Structure 1
Amino acid sequence: MEFDTIAAISTPIGTGGIGIIRISGQNSIEVAGKIIKSKRFNSIYDIPVRYAALVEVYDNDEFIDQAILIKFKAPHSYTGEDVVEIQSHGGMVVLRRILEAVIRNGARHAMPGEFTKRAFLNGRLDLSQAEAIIDIINSKTELLQKNAAKQLKGVLSKKIDEIAEILLNLISSIEASIDFSEHEVDEISPQEIEKSIDTALEKIYRLLKTYETGKAIKSGIYTVIVGRPNVGKSSLLNRLLKEERSIVTDIPGTTRDVIEEVLDIEGIPIILVDTAGVRQTEDVVERIGVERTLKSVERADLVIFMVESDGITKEDIEIFNSIKNKKYIVLVNKTDKGINISQDEIKKLFNKEGIFISIAKDENLELVEKAIKEAVLEQNIEGFDEVLITNLRHKELLLKAKEFLASAKQNLYSVPLDILSIDLKNALDSIYQITGKNVTEDMVDRIFSMFCIGK
């Protein structure tokens, strides 16, 4: 494909050692050649491909900066087009001046994600690989970066292609049975069809099973700490963060607003939320804090429910009833002051065992992090070699494919083959959309609009 020539600053806004202007398109080399001079090469066309050439950059006849210029010839570039990268000093004024000179000489400003969009349209990568680039750029933990790198490498694409191959072979066999029924072509049996559907479904199930874990490492787990006043919620937040983020006093009701901080537990972003203690109160400000606590519980992925080791109160039971339908863990704090409740009683009241801790004495706090990790992960990811589904679009398309295949299996013995193949083709279409082999232009535009300018 041939597109017009685009340009953008590809490095973050701010000052730094270098900044990069990226130019891509059929006239990129010509455009760059109009603003640079070299003492070693007579023109930009004399500079070897992939060679780092020292050049001077000019705006008309005014010198702007010294820079390194590297050119790439299609199709061996990021976008699959002719590409030029100008690496100047990293000040924003100089970068903007170079970009303006490039635009005046025949390029236009690139739209967000347009370089990667061209890479996709030119077959340099598929859609799932393009989406992996967003995750690599936005990675907040090493775990997400590693998973995104696998996806960029094509691990997910390979698994999707395996499912597509099964469905494509199945559809081809069914259509051959229909089209050549009067010839010597072996008709595919219902048992063979069912076996292929089951194989495809099993592969889809395995991918879908990774989504909750993938979502956890990408979006984080919204984890709300709840309990009655002065049970140790703020102290727990401070200990887990290893800093004094929340104010801690012996006065009940000290925390009056929701406080959010992010904790990294072995690569999983845990959005820890310290909340106001839940109780009946006449204090207007504290009452607002309690209302916000209850709203936080509604959106929580995980609730850390805290009680004291000296016994369970009516307030504790009321709080538990408001969170019992959520995923939760139970912490029994202040064991340093004595324990007046047993594990059996905790299990009977709260339907699971509690973790007995002393925040004041730093006892058993390592068990809290372990419990959080075990509560949010659907599978053990230590040494996990497979790619995790982290993208909601992928999940929804896999679910669609699963539904179409389930329908085909259900109707296998009751409908003609040509009707059965409709569900199979719809399933294949859903699978193809993941890698972009069959995707609408609007969807492509929507995906790449989420990129930053310059990528």
Structure 2
Amino acid sequence: MIPQETIVALATPSGAGAIAIIRLSGKDAVRIASQVFQSVSGKDLSQQKTHTIHLGHIVDEGKTYDQVLVSIFKGPNSYTGENVVEISCHGSTFIQQQIIQLLLRKGAKMAKAGEFTLRAFLNGKLDLSQAEAVADLIASDNEASHQIAMQQMRGGFSNEIAKLREELLNFASLIELELDFSEEDVEFADRTAFHELLNRIEFVLKRLIDSFAVGNVIKNGIPVAIVGEPNVGKSTLLNALLNEERAIVSDIAGTTRDTIEDELVIDGIGFRFIDTAGIRDTQDHVESIGIKKTFEKIEQAQVVLFLVDSSDLYATNLEKLKIEIEKIKNKYPQKALTIIGNKADKLTDDVKQLIENEIQNILFLSAKQNIGVDELKNTLLSFVNTGALRNNETIVTNTRHYDSLLKALEEVQKVKWELDAGISSDLMAIDIRSALYYFGEITGEVTNDELLGNIFANFCIGK
């Protein structure tokens, strides 16, 4: 049931600023606003057209609160599908609270987190995946995550799912029709065409599911652990990547006792760099705790940068390094590993060639001299499959969508097997309904109060 109360909330971030926007939504939004608004031209706000802006004052019982601009958006042509009024006032926190309290006294109710977007969904202005994309758009902090959220908010993902669901629903109707005429032994659904449809749905679902690996790292950032022995330049490299003195650098081994984290956006992709304590045997209790945390951070990282002092790679150290590399590869086989030879400005070309012959794909750089840092950034980008992003393909970033897609794929594969095995229509119909259910979960054709509560509780108040 669609709520009938008129809700109000601050739509801009809390705190002082140049201006603030207070939003009302509901059938009485214009009426409530007109009770406290006096136009400079004497207009009656309740008689004004939709999508108009009016200058005036917020006044109550002879007291003037502020000079404001009031925007009117009448339903259904508004964000929520209801009557919406937005009051642009001066950004004093005192003024904001005074106006909101005044509107509450006039009959409005304080909005819950995400309630404006919830009403947009309930009134058919957005489907559920588009509504979730609104929250992703607000949270986006790099170009790639912004691009994905915009594409989903425009309906790219939901349109693809809706098309598949509609085609499957058409066949489901024919299968159900066969059940009504089971005694007649007739087939209304073309089995060959149905098999082709199931193959196409399976292909699309697998592509969307595979895209989650890319979408998840784009949305949340890619954790990168910088590891190595003490004093090989890990903190210097972090500072070079971030282009600021983020980590303390000294010649004393073991200076970094704890992990240091910061984020860098490279070509629209967020990377979360973790500078870890140097790995070595130590009797220092505090340093040993830092080393333990290093291994914990490696577990959490998707990319590991193993830094070595290339100026200290003599023949014996090369063999030791190869053993260490194999240990890391064996312990973390799923992680992208890059071996970095730091302080390469101290090496001759012949020595570099000698090292490259022993350590495949080693990347030479000098963090202190800022040489080779751009090449490292390109290497990091190579770990992200941005082809789908460049081609503007649908990329799944939401765990709830991913889970529903997996379940839908499982049901589609069941139906496909049943079709090939000549299983009766009544059993196929059950699994087709299940697949349709999971498709509907994504776009919101299938919902419940608990699901909606969990989704919109993560929104900010005012949106």
TM tier relative to shorter chain? over 0.9
State which of 352, 357, 367 in structure 2 corresponds to 1:359: 367
CA distance in 1, matches of 2:224, 2:86: 44
Q: How does 1:163-242 map to 2 (within 5 A)?
A: 163-181=164-182, 186-242=187-243
Equivalent residues in 2 for 1:93-108 (5 A)? Answer: 93-108=94-109
Offset of 1:266 from its aligned partner? 1.0
Q: Is the CA contact 2:38–2:57 (under 8 Å) kept in the aligned structure 1? A: yes
**Structure 2 contact 318–358 (Cα < 8 Å) conserved:** no
2:339 maps to what in 1? 330
How far off its partner does 1:6 sit? 0.7
| Contact 1:210–1:378, Cα closer than 8 Å, also in 2 | no
The aligned amino acid for 1:321 is K
Does structure 2 conserve the Cα–Cα contact (< 8 Å) formed by 1:232 and 1:333? yes
Name the TM-score, length of structure 1 as normaliser: 0.94
Partner SS, residue 389 of structure 1: coil
2:318 counterpart of 1:312: yes
1:312 aligned counterpart, secondary structure: helix
What's the offset of the Cα at 1:382?
6.0
**Which SS does the other structure have where 1:273 is aligned?**
strand
Find the counterpart in structure 1 of residue 409 from structure 2: 402
* AA aligned opposite 1:91: S
Tell me, yes or no, if structure 1 residue 343 matches structure 2 residue 356: yes
Partner of 2:438: 430
| TM alignment of 1:39-438, pairs within 5 A | 39-181=40-182, 186-309=187-310, 310=313, 311-312=317-318, 314=320, 317-318=323-324, 321-322=327-328, 323-325=331-333, 326-338=335-347, 339=351, 341-347=354-360, 353-375=361-383, 377-381=384-388, 383-412=390-419, 413-438=421-446
1:218: how far off? 0.7
- Any idea what SS the aligned residue of 2:52 has? coil
Taking the aligned partners of 1:71 and 1:425, their CA distance within structure 2 comes to 43
CA drift at 1:407: 1.8
Contact 2:53 2:69 in 1 (8 A): yes
Q: Give per-residue Cα distances to partners, 1:226-253, cap 9 Å, x unaligned.
A: 1111122111111111111112222221
Query: C-alpha distance in 1, partners of 2:40/2:232?
Result: 73
2:455 match: secondary structure: helix
Aligned position for 1:350: none
Q: For residues 315-366 of structure 1, give each alpha carbon's deviation from its aligned partner in whole angstroms, at most 9, with x where no partner exists.
A: 773475245422222212222223364334223xxxxx22122223333222
Matched, 1:448 2:456: yes
Rounded to whole Å, the distance in 1 between the matches of 2:194 and 2:389 is 37
Equivalent pair of 1:41/1:47 in contact (CA under 8 Å): no
How has the CA–CA distance of structure 1 residues 185 and 75 changed in structure 2, closer, same or farther, with 3 Å as cutoff? farther
Instruction: Tell me: CA distance 1:382–1:153, structure 2 relative to 1, closer, same or farther (3 Å).
Output: closer
Q: Is this contact kept in 2: 1:170–1:196, CA < 8 A?
A: no
* Equivalent position amino acid for 1:420 in 2: M
Q: Is the 8 A contact 1:357 1:365 kept in 2?
A: yes
1:273 is matched by which residue type in structure 2?
A: I
399-408 vs 381-390, which moves further: 381-390
Once the two structures are aligned, what percentage of the paired residues are identical?
39
Deviation at 1:123, TM superposition (A): 0.4
| TM-score, normalised relative to structure 2 | 0.92
Q: How far did residue 125 of structure 1 move?
A: 0.6
When residues 317 and 277 of structure 1 are mapped into structure 2, their CA distance, relative to the original with a 3 A threshold, is farther
Report SS of the residue matched to 2:132. helix
Q: Assess, with a 3 A threshold, how the Cα gap between structure 1 residues 122 and 382 changes in structure 2: closer, same or farther.
A: closer
Change (3 A) 1:317 1:61: farther
Query: What is the alpha-carbon distance in structure 2 between the residues aligned to residue 380 and residue 189 of structure 1?
Result: 37
Q: Contact between 1:227 and 1:319, CA under 8 Å: does it hold in 2?
A: no
Paired residue type of 1:408: V
SS in 1 for 2:427: helix
RMSD across aligned positions (CA): 1.9
| 1:406 partner letter | Q
Summarize deviations over 1:195-224 as a string: whole Å, max 9, x none.
Answer: 221111111112122211111111011111
Inter-partner Cα distance in structure 2 for 1:48 and 1:420: 54
Partner of 1:209: helix, strand, or coil? Answer: helix
Q: How many residues align?
A: 449
Q: Is the 8 A contact 2:24 2:85 kept in 1?
A: yes
Secondary structure of the residue aligned to 1:306 is strand
1:392-413 residue CA offsets vs partner (Å, 9 max, x unmatched): 1111111111111112222331
Shift of 1:45: 1.7
Select between 87-96 and 303-312 the one with higher mean Cα deviation.
303-312
Aligned counterparts of 1:55 and 1:359: Cα–Cα separation in 2: 59
Unmatched 5+ residue regions in structure 1?
Answer: 348-352
